[in-house]
């Protein structure tokens, strides 16, 4: 669907509904997307319900119904069992191909711990606040994108 030229600015957001048949297994992952001035698809967001995807946006131009089924990527920036005794933090590289990272949850030894996300660098960092215990720890990171796709990393480190 096309709503005005892509270069037309809107002063207020509009609510857009695009009717489309979407197979039931793809409905939870379906959003609206737009083609930007460089021709690339960008995620607008929204939800599929009652045969249409509805989103609020200031984006004009070509709009598409897209199902994002690819989960985010996680790459630890340390090796399995690495000695992080002297490290001030534990780092991960995280990314998503389309809808972006929506949430990150980090557990060390089964206990939730805070982490900082740096989207411009594509990193997730947990700064250690307790002194090193000099033992092996289990780490679990769960990352979910804007369409509900999730991926998990489990590993160990020494600290």
The pLDDT tens digits of the residues spanning 71-126 come to 999 999 999 999 999 999 999 999 999 999 999 999 999 999 999 999 999 999 99
For 79-132, what is the HEC assignment?
CCCEECCCCCEEEEEEECCCCCEEEEEEEECCEEECCEEECCCCEEEEECCCCC
Q: What are phi and psi of 80, to 5 degrees?
A: -60, 125
Quick one: DSSP state of residue 150?
Answer: E
**pLDDT tens, position by position, 111-121:** 999 999 999 99
Q: Can you give the pTM of this predicted structure?
A: 0.85
Parallel, antiparallel, or unpaired for β 82-83 and 150-158?
parallel
Please give the C-alpha separations between residue 107 and each of 40, 95, 104, 115, 152, in angstroms, as whole numbers. 36, 19, 10, 10, 11
């Amino acid at each position: 669907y096309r709503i005005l030229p892509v270069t037309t600015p809107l002063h207020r957001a509009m609510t857009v509904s695009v009717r489309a048949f979407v197979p039931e297994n793809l409905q939870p992952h379906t959003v609206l997307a737009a083609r930007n001035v460089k021709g690339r698809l960008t995620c607008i967001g929204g939800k599929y319900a009652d045969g249409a995807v509805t989103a609020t946006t200031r984006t004009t131009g070509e709009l598409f119904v897209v199902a994002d089924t690819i989960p985010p990527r996680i790459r630890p920036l340390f090796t399995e069992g690495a000695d992080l005794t002297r490290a001030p933090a534990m780092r991960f590289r995280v990314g998503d191909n389309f809808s972006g990272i929506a949430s990150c949850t980090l557990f060390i030894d089964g206990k939730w711990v805070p982490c900082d996300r740096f989207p411009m660098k594509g990193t997730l960092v947990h700064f250690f606040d307790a002194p090193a215990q000099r033992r092996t720890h289990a780490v679990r990171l769960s990352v979910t994108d804007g369409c509900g796709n999730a991926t998990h990393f489990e590993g160990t480190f020494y600290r």
